[in-house]
Amino acid sequence: MIDSAVADHAAIERTTRRALFGAGVVSALALVGSRPAGASSGLSDADLATAAFAISLELSARDLYDAAIAAGADARVWMVMREQHEAYASRLSGITGISAQGRNAAVYDSLEAEFATSDPATAGFNLENAAAATHTELVGMVEDRDIVAAMASFVSMESRHATVLATLAGQAADFDAMFVNAATALSPEA
């Protein structure tokens, strides 16, 4: 059965998000500033800008979990979440040659207060969904297959993270929260 309504909706949503990202990627290139020597990898400027934004997002996630740990979130799961996101930034850095050093200040600043707690399950759930939604969007924008494969891998795990954190946040009975990503993809202006 062909569900054309679903397809049309998806197309409209994609167009809207694409417009959002079109502006965002330009900003991401500025965010990176100068491209390091190691970035002469044959990747297009658009792919490098997209990857730079993704790296900054992952580093923001790492730092947000660090904020929670500093606020008393001492369960091992939070350290694992921190390490996971740092690994994702490193992976993209390895592919592109872009330095994995700078977090996205806008993303971090907007969520820092929510993570300043010993139980950041709900904040983490929202963040994981946002990260997964963002990479899901980005795989449709980049050309380089290695970047696509890496981002798809992130989506796989961030989706699992979200389901685990939904459970820790007491939402296990809410199947929509558990299994559907309702988050909007982030852009550098978020």
Partner 1 sequence: MTNFPNPSLGRRALIRNGGLALSMGAIIAACGNGRSGSDDPGRLGVAPPAPTLPEAVVNDAVLLRTAQSLEYTALAVYEQAAGLDVLNADETQLVGRFVSDHQRHAADLGALVVRAGGEEYTCPNPFVMERAVGPILAALDGTDDLHRDVLNIAYSFEYLAGASYQDLVSLLEDPTLRSTAMLIGGEEQRHAAALAMAINPDVLISPALFGEPVENDTDGFPVPYAVPSTFGQLTGIDVVVGPRDEVEGTRFAAQLQTPAANSFVYEYETC
Q: Which residues contact partner 1 (rule: CB under 8 A)? A: 1-4, 6-7, 10, 14, 76-77, 80, 83-84, 87-88, 91, 132, 135-137, 139-143, 145, 148-150, 152-164, 167, 175, 178-181
| Minimal distance, residue 148 CB to partner 1, in Å | 5
Q: Output the six-digit token pair for 94.
A: 């390895």
Task: Give the nearer residue to partner 1 in terms of CB position, either 36 or 184.
Answer: 184
Task: Give the nearer residue to partner 1 in terms of CB position, either 1 or 37.
Answer: 1
The neighbour count for residue 81, using CB atoms within 10 Å, is 26
Q: Which amino acid is at 32?
A: V
Task: Give the nearer residue to partner 1 in terms of CB position, either 103 or 135.
Answer: 135
Q: Which residue reads 């990857």 in tokens? A: 51
Within 40-144, where are the H helices? 45-70, 76-96, 105-115, 121-138
- Comparing CA positions, the residue from 162, 155, 161 lying closest to residue 180 is 162
| Minimal distance, residue 95 CB to partner 1, in Å | 12
Task: Give the nearer residue to partner 1 in terms of CB position, either 103 or 161.
Answer: 161
| Minimal distance, residue 94 CB to partner 1, in Å | 12
**DSSP class of residue 141?**
T
